[in-house]
Amino acid sequence: MDSSRALTGLCALLLAVGAAAGPASAAPADPAPAGAALTDTAPAGAALTDTAPARAALADPALKDPALTDPAPGSPATREFGNGPERHEVAATAPELRGSAATPLSATPDQPWTPKRQGYPRQTELRVYPQDLADRSIKLGLVPYHAIAPRLNALQDASDRVSAEVVGHSALGRDLYLVTVTAPESAAEAARQDRWRALIENDPRAAARDRALHRGYKTPVWINANIHGDEWEGTDGALRVIERLATATDQATAALLRRTRFYVTVTNNPDGRIAGTRANGAGFDINRDHATSSQPESRAVRDVVIATQPLVMLDEHGYTGTTLIEPATPPHGQNYEYDLYIKHALPNALGMEAAVKGLGLPGTESVDIPFRDYAPGDWDDWPPIFTPMYAIYQGAVGHTVEIPWQVNRAAYTSLPVEELRRRSAVNTAVAAATIEAALTYADTHRASLLAGQIEQFRRGWAGAPSPRIPDGFVPGFGPEDRYSTEFPRAYVIPVGAGQRSAPAAARLVDHLVAHDVRVTKARRAFSLNGRRYPAASYLVDMHQPKRGLANVLLEAGRDISDLVPQMYDISGWSHRLLWGASVDISRAAAPRVSTTPVRAASATGSVTAGKGRDLALLLRDPADVRATNALLDLGVKLRRTDAGTVVVPAAARPEAEVLARRFGVRFTAAPRGSAGTPFTRPVLAAAVAADELFALREMGFEVRPVSTALLNAGADLSGVDALVVSSGLSYAQLTAAGKAAVDDLLSRGGVVTRGATGAAFNAAAGLLPGTAVAGRGDANGVVAVRNTGAVIGADALPHAFVYSPIWFTGSGFTVEQRYAADPLVAGHWLPTGPGVGGPDQAAGQASVVSGRTARGGRAVLFGTEPLFRAHPKGLYAEFARALYWAAG
C-alpha cells in the first residue's frame, strides 16, 4: 500500500491532538509527572515493602558496553549481540533501580490481564500524561509517549472499530496499551469467539471438525512494538496502520475487519522510549526476559499472547542497516513444531520483503531473511527468551522485524535533526509495510494458519512425536535445520520431605501456570518409577497443548557447541536445574493417580517447632534470604550455624510466623544448644549490573550503588559492610581519594566479586592470590559443579550458570566450588583456541573461591553467574551466603 497515504480529517485531528498533548489541558485530575515513579500499594503476597525516593542515574563515562557500540554497516555484527568479554557492562551506565532494598520495582499491582467479558468496541478513556519535552522520540519527529493516549482516545471517539485498554504497567509505572481493531461485535458474538479460541486449545480435535468455527473464527494477529525503547518506529508504524484501518471507508477493509482481530501493544517499553534507552526503567532488556518474566512489561505481553492466541505476530525492532525479517537461522528450538512454523514463516517473510521493496524508498532496496541469507548461528531462534520465539510456543507464527536506518545511540547525537527525521520516516514506512503485509498474509492464509495452530495443540494433547521434516520442505530447508526432541511423559514436583525447597517449588508451579502450562495436584499418594510421592505433589503431564513451552522451561537443555560456530544470545537455561526446586522426570510412564487442576500453588509457609524452641531457617531460596533480612530489619538477633542455616530465637516466633505466611518459608526446630555466629544485615556498596542490583534488592539487601566515577567523586563508604564488584568499577582507575575509601572498606569489611571485572578488581587490589583464567567470551549455559567449601555450603545446587566463564588457579584460597569433570550440561561453549578456554580446560577447576585477604577482610570470587538476568533463582541464596560470610 501507499505508505504516505493522506489521512482524512479525523487523522488530521489526531495529529493535532498528538502535537498539542500536554500541560494542563489533557491531564487527568491526578497526573504523575512523566519520568516520575508512579506509586501504588503492592498486592498481597508481594515482597514486604517500604518506600524510598527515586535515586539519580549512575554514570561512568569511562565504560562502554560492547553491545551498545555502533557496528559497521552491513556487518553480521549489526544484530543485537550481548556477547563479549564482560556481559552487559551497560549496567554501570543504566538508570538505577528506584527505591530501597525493600521497594518493589513494579509501581502498580501486577495482576494478570484478561479481556473484558463484553463485545467490541470495549473502549477505555486512557489517562493522559503531562507533556514531556525531554521525550527522546520528539527529536526524531515521532510520537512521544505522552501523545499516544490522546491519539488513541480520539480514535476511540471517532471509530467503533478501535478499542484501547491498559494491560499492565512499566517498571516505572507507566501505562502499557493494547489496541484492538476489529469490526464491532455483540457480547454474544464476542463470547462465541472466546469459546472457539478455548476450543482450539482445549479440544483441538473438536475444533478441527467444527465447520462454524472455521467459517466464523476471527483471525487474531498481534503486533508488539518498541520493546527496545530506543528502537522507536514500530510504534509509529503500528499507529499508522491502526489509523488506516479505523478510518478507511472501502469495503475491502470492512470485510477484513469482519474476519480479523488486529491487536497491537503500542509501546512495550515506554520507560525506554522516553529515555532513549534499550532497557526498561529497571535496566532490563525485556526481549531477554520471556522465560523468566522478571519484569512487568514481559508479564504484560505474556498475558496478551495467552489471552489473544494469535496466529501471526510481529515484534518490531531496529536497526540492522537493511530490513531484517525472521525466520531465523539454525539452531532452531528443539521443542518447536517447526514444520508448522516454517511452512508459514518463510512465505510470510517473503511477502513482507516484497512490501518493503515496493516502497521504493532509500534503504528499502534489500531485505535480509536470516533463514535464507545467514549462516547457522548468526541469528538463531534457539532460546525462548525473545518475544517471537516465546509466541511460537503459544501457538503463533512469530517474527522479529528489524527496520533499517539507525537513529539511536551515536547516530542520535551526531546526525543532524533533518537526517534523523528522514531516516525515521523511512523506518516508519517500513514498519507499517511489514505490518500491512502480515495482515494480508494472515487473512489470505487464515484457513491453513488456523489448521496449523489446531494441529500444534492436537500434537501436544496426543503426545505425538514431531514429524521428521524432509529436505526441501520449504526452499532452503536442509539437515542443518533439523532439530527435535523426545518429550518426556511427565514431570513431578514433589512436596514434603522430598522437596529441596518448598518456596522454590511453589514459585515454579505459579510460574508454569502463569505461562499457561497445565499443572495438576495429586489427590492421594502415588508411586512412579519406583519412587513414592505424597499427596498434593504437583504433576506436569506432558500430554497438554503447550507441551513445547512446558518442556523448554523444564528440560535440562542440550550442548550445541559442536553444531554451530556461535550463538546470537544465551543457549542454555533450565528452571528445573537452576530455580532451586526438586523436579523429577518420568520419561515413559504417566502417574496413575487422580488429580485436580492447579490455579496457584498451595501455601508453603510454616513454623513447625514447638513453643519455646529456637527456630531454624535454611537459606536455599531468595524467599529464605528475604525473610532473614526482614527479621534483621526488625532487630531480631540471628545466628548462623553453617553456610545455610540461620537460627532464630524463640522469642521472635511471632515475627517468624508473620514472615512464614508472607514469604512462604519454613521455620523448623533448631537443634537444642545451637550456638552459631551472630550476624546483621550487611549494608552493601555495589558496582554491579542492573540484573544483579535487582536481585540483591529483591532479596532485601540494603544496596548503595557505586562505580569508578562515583567513588572518584567522593561516594561515602562509611557504614558499608561489604563491597560487591562485577561491573563498572576499576581499582586501577580510582583516584588516590577513591582508593583510600575502598582500601578502608577492604581492611574492615568484605568483598564479593563476579566475572572479569571482579577478577580484575581482585588482582589490582591484591586481595586473594591465584590467577583468574577466562573461557571464551560468548560461552554460556548450564554447568555441573561440585560444592566443596563451607561458605557456599555442600547443600548448594549441583548446577550453576555461566556467561564468559572464569576459573581460578593457584593456591592461597579455599575452593568453594569446582566445575565438574564434564562441566557443560546445556549451552554453547567452544575453546578460544586449541586447548585454551574451553570446558575441557575448566573441568575440575575452581569456579568459586574464598579466603582472608592480605588487608584483613574476607573475599569471595565467583567465576559463575549466580544472578544472571534475574533467572537462576536457585543460585541467589549461594550469593547471599557469600555476602553474609564476607561481611561478617
List, by residue number, the catalytic residues. 402
Q: Residue 631: left (phi > 0), alpha (psi -120 to 50), or beta? A: alpha
State the amino acid at position 394 in one-letter form: Q
Joined together, the cell numbers standing for residue 733 give 582507575
Q: Of all helices (H) and strands (E), which one includes residue 690?
A: helix 690-698
Cα dihedral 379, 383, 387, 390, rounded to 10, equals 130
Which three cell numbers, joined as nine digits, stand for 368?
535480509
Cell of 31: 497526573
How far apart CA 501 and CA 582 sit, in angstroms, is: 7
Residues near 561 by beta carbon (within 8 Å), at least 6 away in sequence: 824, 827, 828, 829, 830, 839
How far is Cα 512 from Cα 236, in angstroms, rounded to an integer?
34
All three cell numbers of 551: 518442556
Residues near 824 by Cβ (< 8 Å), separated by ≥ 6?
Answer: 559, 561, 572, 781, 782, 783, 839
The C-alpha atoms of residue 421 and residue 414 are separated, in whole angstroms, by: 13
SS (H, E, C) 702-716: EEEECCHHHHHCCCC
Residue with cell 489448521: 451
SS3 label, residue 504: helix
Length of the chain: 888
Q: Measuring CA to CA, how many Å separate 92 from each of 35, 65, 284?
A: 20, 9, 12
Work out whether strand 683-687 and strand 666-669 pair parallel, antiparallel, or are unpaired.
unpaired
Greatest Cα pair distance, the chain, in angstroms, is 84
Alpha carbon separation from 826 to 164, 389, 542, 779, 829 (Å, rounded): 42, 19, 21, 11, 9
Task: Name the H helices within 183-308.
Answer: 187-202, 204-209, 211-216, 233-247, 251-259, 270-275, 296-308
Q: What is the C-alpha to C-alpha distance for residues 399 and 344, in angstroms, rounded to an integer?
A: 11
The rounded distance, in Å, linking the Cα atoms of 661 and 627 is: 10
Helix segments in 613-665, DSSP class H? 622-633, 653-663
* Planar angle of CA 690, 694, 698, nearest 5 degrees: 170
Q: Are 672 and 647 contacting, i.e. CB atoms less than 8 angstroms apart?
A: no
| CA pair distance 389, 552, nearest whole angstrom | 11
What helix, strand, coil percent values describe the chain, rounded to 5? 35, 20, 45
Query: Hey, what's the cell of 309?
Result: 492466541
CB 323 within 8 A of CB 364: yes
Q: 249, exposed or middle or buried, with CB in 10 Å at 0-12, 13-18, 19+?
A: exposed
| Strands, sheet with 538-541, edge to edge from the N-terminal-most edge strand | 584-586, 490-493, 538-541, 520-522, 595-597
**Which stretch of DSSP H or E encloses residue 852?**
strand 846-852
